[in-house]
Amino acid sequence: MRLFLALALALLSGPALSETRVPESRAEISLSFAPLVREAAPAVVNIYARRVVETRRSPFAEDPFFGEFFREFGQRQPRVQNSLGSGVILSDDGIVVSNYHVIGQATDISVVLNDRREYSASVLLADEQSDLAILQLDGASDMPHLPLRDSDTVEVGELTLAIGNPFGVGQTVSSGIVSGLARSGVATGNMRGYFIQTDAPINPGNSGGALIDTRGRLIGINTSILTRSGGSNGIGFAIPASLVAQFVAQARDGQDRFLRPWAGMNGQAVDADLSDGLGLALPGGVVISELHAASPFAAAGIVVGDVILAVDDLPVNTPAEMIYRMSVRGIGASVTVDYMRGGRPAEARVTLIAPPDDPPREELVLGRGDRFEGLRLARLNPALRDELGLAANASGVIVLEPGAVGARIGLRAGDILLAVGRYAIERPSEAARLLGQASGRVAVQVQRGNRRLALRFRV
């Protein structure tokens, strides 16, 4: 405890206290984070989001056996879902950042400030993969706000404060330290993210709140925890402020979805087993297993089997970390990539590009008179894969909307059509033709997430 107070005194007192020392008087012992919280807390807001969803009420819902088989049985009923979270004001004109899972698909968003002022808000940009959303407070001006800190300057051991609205009890503050960096092994949204780890308690309702340093600068947006009980066990994760800055920049440019630079590759982290065969002294980096012909890395001379070690002198040890480094730099930026080939170090200059919308999507909708009326299909390409959050190697014809008949035979939005009967499918027109000509018993092969399914029906 005495050491913690000494560290706090040294950081809060600035140049006047250049050395860590034990408090020597009652006045020094009484020093606290109160002045820092007084300055930062007004910029942290509570967010109340509401959306209307349709649910089915099945008479078998409470049955442990039949409930699973008849979960789609029953009349659709509208139901209001409410969510509670936190957010951080980043500008005097009312730009607010929060988590996607707090406001995703919301039809009504209310933001309440620390002084009880209330604003309605609209979503400028939202991204489920990164679990971030940028809001605009309606009619706001002269708002309290927090400055952003470059996340690459954050170090393990720094003191931090987490400010938010846990459990809906009102704004609270908890303290801790940065306990880890470059954490990319936990999930957020529908992908694995890149986080700052902290032991400052983060509980339900803290999502979207601020993780700040001892100078009141935002270093991250609290987003998730590792827990067995549902409460904080001392391992929380925050999305780095540098990524937040890129989100704000794109929102101000008028983007309604986050645009990531496209790598055009697949790779895996290099562990101890791989490092020897790749000629590395220590495990680290990302080894390239697939490379698209139009990839900017391929254009820079990088090939399959190379090991990416760093982007702009910042290490990358997982694919998620590499995506983060590229996302922070943004489309159009030129970065230096350090890599290893055959045990020898090399360097390349890579210009980051948007995912190409090529080959053409060839989107089509089956119309009136077609057996599968309303079925909407498209050909996957890098741009569409990025929009839908699919794997880099996903290919084929994707179902954008199943239509009434397609839904009855089991098709879902996001399914990738592989074959009708024994005929493989590569283009939407082929799928439409084969489905229209099918007769008798038909089997449609689809890829749904990581599963390959056969949907069988009679026409």
- Residue of 86, 98, 101, 174 with catalytic role: 101
Q: How far apart are CA 322 and CA 269, in angstroms?
A: 10
- Residue of 83, 98, 130, 131 with catalytic role: 131
Whole-angstrom CA distances from 183 to 17, 21, 169, 262, 286 are: 33, 32, 29, 22, 15
Q: How far apart are CA 23 and CA 228, in angstroms?
A: 38
Answer yes or no: 131 catalytic.
Answer: yes
Closest CA to 59 of 48, 73, 46: 73
Instruction: Determine the length of the chain.
Output: 459
Record the tokens describing residue 228, joined without a space: 């067995």
Answer yes or no: 101 catalytic.
Answer: yes
Residue type, 284: G
Phi, psi for 453 (deg, rounded to 5): -125, 155
- Residue of 83, 130, 175, 207 with catalytic role: 207
Record the tokens describing residue 123, joined without a space: 């979503």
Output the CA angle 281-286-291, nearest 5 degrees: 130
Answer yes or no: 312 catalytic.
Answer: no
The torsion of the CA quartet 40, 46, 47, 48, rounded to 10 degrees, works out to -170
Q: How far apart are CA 288 and CA 446, in angstroms?
A: 28
| Residue 359: cis peptide before it, omega within 30 degrees of 0 | yes
Sheet strands (E) in 306-436: 307-311, 314-315, 334-341, 344-351, 364-365, 376-379, 397-401, 416-420, 423-424
CB 178 within 8 A of CB 234: no
Q: How far apart are CA 248 and CA 143, in angstroms?
A: 16
Residue with tokens 């880099």: 392
| Active site positions, annotated | 101, 131, 207
